[in-house]
Structure 1
Amino acid sequence: MLALKDVTIETRQPILNNFSFNFQLQKTYGLIAPNGSGKTTLFRSIMQLIPSTKGMYTIDKKPISTQLKRVFYFETSNWFDGNLSGWDYLLFVKSLWKSSVDVQKLVQDWQMSEYVKLPIKKYSLGMKQRLLIALYEVSDAKYLLMDEITNGLDEKNREKVFSKIRQLVDSGKMILISSHYKEDLETVCDYELFLENNTMVVKEV
């Protein structure tokens, strides 16, 4: 269980005020908020990339700072080093997260065989997004934080992502996925979290 207790986040402006919630395995949570309201800031705070003003994040009652290998978060394809290949990233994540996932199978599943060993600077946005999703799979982490994961994907691949999310959750994972489009998440989520005006409202779907 990923637990947030009395979390308050402020950057240049207030983002979230005194929020507590328990994220359970085998559940999908949709974080819905307008652009600029703090979705990414919340993800960064969970991952200890920025401090929260107050509050605590734990996994199974242990500080999340000691449990980060049980979580996977890759904020955006803009994080990729264009001189490296998708293959480099897949092998790196597999090694660092000590995963047993078959990388070659993932490459075939996401139809990356023709380009995965090329430098990422040659990739289109859609190619980068498929690689990004494959990194979540290859990590095999129990807790997956996905920030606007369907950006740049065509309808066919968006549907494939949502199908994959269902499979991952059924296999025992927890997924927190953000979007500013409510309709994107309604069919895949067990809970919807609405962030606006520093307040989080949770609704069971």
Structure 2
Amino acid sequence: MIEIKNLSLTLREPILQNANFVFQDGQIYLLQALNGTGKTSVLRTMVSLLAPDAGHVSFDGHEFTEVKQQVFYLETADWFDKNLSGLDYMQFVKQEWQSDQKIETEINRWQMGDYVKMPIRKYSLGMKQKLLVSLYSLSGAKYLLMDEINNGLDEDSRQVLYQQLVALKKHGKLIIMASHYQDEVASIVDQTLTLKKQRLVQE
């Protein structure tokens, strides 16, 4: 469970004002809003990359710093060091998150065998996005926060992603995803939240 309690956040302008919501385990939540109105900032605040004006976020009653290994958030493939390989990142995530997930399973799922040992600077957008997606499963984390996770994926790869998200949900994962593919993900989403007038509104 992730609880947002009395959360207020202001950057250039107010994004959240006294927002409250409880995200339940084993659910997929879609977070939607107009571009530039704060979806990414909300996710960043949840993982302590941004400090709120007031209020707090808790994970099963704990602060983020106490449960970091149970949370996975990789905002964008632009965060990758282009001189490292996909395999470098997979090995790092498996070690740091103390995961028992198998690297080979993700390589095969996303058909990365031909390039996973190459430097990321040689990857296409789709290749980088497949790597990013694979790290979520590989982490074994309970809480998965995803920002436009399906960007850069072709239709077939997006379907693989959605099947994997449903499988993760069935294993009790709590998934929050911001996505422009609202119609496409509607069939796998349990609840939709809209960032509207500095509130999280349940649709």
**Deviation string for 1:74-117 (max 9, x for gaps)?**
00000000000000000000000000001012101110000000
User: 1:6-25 counterparts in 2 under 5 A?
Assistant: 6-25=6-25
Q: CA RMSD in A?
A: 0.9
**For residues 21 and 198 of structure 1, what CA distance do their matches in structure 2 show?**
13
**For residues 137 and 109 of structure 1, what CA distance do their matches in structure 2 show?**
11
Structure 2 equivalent of residue 115 of structure 1: 115
Q: Contact 1:35–1:180 at 8 Å: present in 2 too?
A: no
Q: Which amino acid aligns with 1:33?
A: A
Structure 2 equivalent of residue 192 of structure 1: 192
Q: Relative to structure 2, which stretch is displaced further, 48-57 or 62-71? A: 62-71
Structure 2 equivalent of residue 178 of structure 1: 178
Q: Which amino acid aligns with 2:56?
A: M
**For residues 79 and 163 of structure 2, what CA distance do their matches in structure 1 show?**
25
Ranges in structure 2 where 5+ consecutive residues have no aligned partner? none
Structure 2 equivalent of residue 126 of structure 1: 126
Q: Contact 2:20–2:200 at 8 Å: present in 1 too?
A: no
How does the TM-score come out when normalised to structure 1?
0.96
**Deviation string for 1:2-53 (max 9, x for gaps)?**
1110111111111111111111111000001111010110111000011011
Number of aligned residue pairs: give it.
203
**For residues 64 and 83 of structure 2, what CA distance do their matches in structure 1 show?**
32
> Are 2:82 and 1:82 aligned?
yes
Cα drift, residue 61 of structure 1: 1.1
**For residues 143 and 54 of structure 1, what CA distance do their matches in structure 2 show?**
23
**For residues 5 and 64 of structure 1, what CA distance do their matches in structure 2 show?**
14
User: 1:1-205 counterparts in 2 under 5 A?
Assistant: 1-203=1-203
SS in 1 for 2:19: strand
Cα drift, residue 59 of structure 1: 1.2
How does the TM-score come out when normalised to structure 2?
0.97
**For residues 95 and 40 of structure 1, what CA distance do their matches in structure 2 show?**
27
Percent identity over the alignment is: 43
Q: Relative to structure 2, which stretch is displaced further, 44-53 or 177-186? A: 177-186
Q: Contact 2:19–2:198 at 8 Å: present in 1 too?
A: no
SS in 1 for 2:195: strand
Ranges in structure 1 where 5+ consecutive residues have no aligned partner? none
Cα drift, residue 185 of structure 1: 2.6
